[in-house]
């Protein structure tokens, strides 16, 4: 029987899951993904995690609770640095320890450390360590790793073309890579935030779909090319230390500077330390670009659909009227 490897459907799931899935399947292991985020997963996470953890980390605990009794291994790598420049948020780095010290009945946790600053082959070595659990053949691991990298590249290409992670994963499964062009909307918003907040329909209260229903085309972080993010300068003398925070802030600066969107929404999570800086810098930057309306939306354990929808409607209405006034002037 194939060994079952548990993957929590949050955090890195939205960025790297197709790679991990391909790799495991090539080696005959079975990836088991936790259920979609729900009230129960959120409540379980709130109960198990430290009270002062951010909402996404609490949700991670809920996903572990959901999957832990169905698997032989739990994959929670300690991903420190993948670009040689910035590191992941300290709460990401502490995840394997927090999980191991919280749950009593856990399968073996695979918590390989990945830091390309120490070793440029760190990603390959991490996958090699993972692959060794299922085969002794280095050639097979190497072949599976290369195939997984190719799938990841394709996945990121689909995200860049505007597909959501869920839609892109479905495309990979169906092997139908045609993408229907979006119909032109009157308004275009950049919706910026960490992938595990923006693309989790439960905790984002389905914000992207709601905006689409209000006639707004949305652009997310995944659609901003990495070279643009890398080369965008902000008002702070150094890059932000944390990878996703650095990307979100630079994407915001890019849109404010280029003026290619009608509005910018920052979707942030209650209890997020890095976002207390990112959000403030975005707000300060927005004051220099009053023609691009900016709104910050914080999600927490109690975010309600009705309140969020009212705020979105009011924001969209205001931007629409502003744009019409400029066009008629
Ligand atoms: S960046 Fe913020 S939301 Fe993400 S894990 Fe760290 S503290 Fe939580």
Q: Is the dihedral of CA 90, 205, 293, 225 positive or negative?
A: positive
Check whether residue 47 and residue 93 sit in a common domain.
Answer: yes
Out of 79, 244, 269, mutate this one to test ligand 1's pocket (max ligand atoms within 8 Å of CB): namely 269
Distance 116 CA to ligand 1 centre (A): 21
Distance 197 CA to ligand 1 centre (A): 10
| Residue ranges of the chain whose pLDDT lies below 70 | 181-183, 303-304, 306
pLDDT at 304: 67
Of 112, 142, 174, the domain-final residue: 174
Check whether residue 108 and residue 231 sit in a common domain.
Answer: no
Distance 91 CA to ligand 1 centre (A): 6
Q: Per the structure block, which two tokens stand in for 39?
A: 């009230």
pLDDT at 15: 95
Instruction: Tell me the C-alpha distance between 157 and 251, whole Å.
Output: 18
Check whether residue 161 and residue 253 sit in a common domain.
Answer: no
pLDDT in tens, 21-60: 999 999 999 999 999 999 999 999 999 988 888 999 999 9
Distance 274 CA to ligand 1 centre (A): 7
Tell the burial category of 93 from Cβ atoms under 10 Å away from its Cβ (0-12, 13-18, 19+): middle
Structural Rg of the chain based on CA atoms: 20
**Residue written as token pair 């996903």:** 63
pLDDT at 105: 87
- Domain count for the chain, please give it: 2
Which atom of ligand 1 is least distant from the CA of 92?
Answer: 5
Under 8 Å between Cβ of 329 and 322: no
pLDDT at 182: 65
Check whether residue 229 and residue 298 sit in a common domain.
Answer: yes
Flag whether 182 is in a domain: no
Flag whether 315 is in a domain: yes
Flag whether 181 is in a domain: no
Phi/psi-derived region of residue 271, left when phi > 0, alpha when psi is between -120 and 50, beta in every other case: left
> End-to-end distance of the chain based on CA atoms, in angstroms?
70
Flag whether 180 is in a domain: no
Flag whether 179 is in a domain: no
Residues with CB under 6 A from ligand 1: 54, 56-57, 89, 91-92, 194, 244, 269, 272-275
Of 174, 208, 237, the domain-final residue: 174
Residue 103: which of 48, 34, 25 has the closest Cα?
48
Distance 310 CA to ligand 1 centre (A): 26
The parent domain of residue 160 ranges over 4-174
pLDDT at 183: 66
Query: Which residue has the least CA distance to atom 7 on ligand 1?
Result: 272
pLDDT at 181: 64
Flag whether 75 is in a domain: yes
């Amino acid at each position: 029987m194939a060994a079952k490897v548990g993957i929590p459907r949050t955090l890195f799931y939205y960025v790297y899951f197709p790679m991990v899935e391909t790799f495991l399947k090539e080696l005959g292991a079975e990836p088991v993904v936790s259920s979609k985020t729900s009230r129960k997963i959120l409540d379980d996470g709130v109960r198990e995690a430290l009270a002062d953890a951010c909402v996404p980390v609490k949700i991670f605990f809920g996903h572990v609770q959901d999957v832990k009794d169905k698997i032989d291994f739990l994959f929670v790598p300690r991903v420190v640095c993948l670009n040689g420049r910035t590191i992941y948020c300290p709460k990401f780095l502490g995840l394997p320890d927090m999980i191991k010290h919280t749950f009593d009945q856990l399968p073996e946790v695979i918590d390989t450390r990945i830091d390309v600053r120490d070793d440029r082959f760190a990603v390959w070595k991490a996958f090699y360590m993972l692959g060794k659990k299922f085969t002794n053949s280095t050639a097979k691991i190497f072949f599976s790793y290369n195939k997984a990298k190719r799938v990841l590249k394709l996945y990121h290409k689909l995200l860049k073309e505007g597909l959501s992670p869920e839609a892109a994963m479905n495309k990979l499964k169906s092997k139908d890579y045609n993408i229907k062009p979006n119909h032109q909307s009157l308004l275009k918003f950049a919706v910026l935030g960490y992938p595990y907040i923006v693309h989790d329909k439960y905790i984002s209260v389905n914000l992207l779909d709601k905006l689409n229903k209000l006639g707004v085309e949305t652009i997310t972080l995944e659609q901003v090319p990495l070279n643009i993010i890398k080369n965008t300068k902000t008002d702070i003398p150094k890059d932000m230390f944390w990878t996703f925070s650095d990307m979100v802030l630079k994407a915001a600066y890019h849109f404010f500077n280029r003026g290619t969107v009608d509005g910018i929404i920052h979707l942030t999570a209650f209890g997020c330390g890095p976002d207390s800086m990112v959000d403030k810098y975005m707000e300060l930057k927005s004051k220099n670009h009053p023609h691009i309306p900016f709104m910050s939306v914080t999600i927490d354990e109690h975010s309600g659909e009705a309140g969020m929808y009212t705020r979105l409607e009011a924001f969209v209405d205001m931007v629409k009227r502003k744009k019409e006034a400029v066009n008629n002037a």
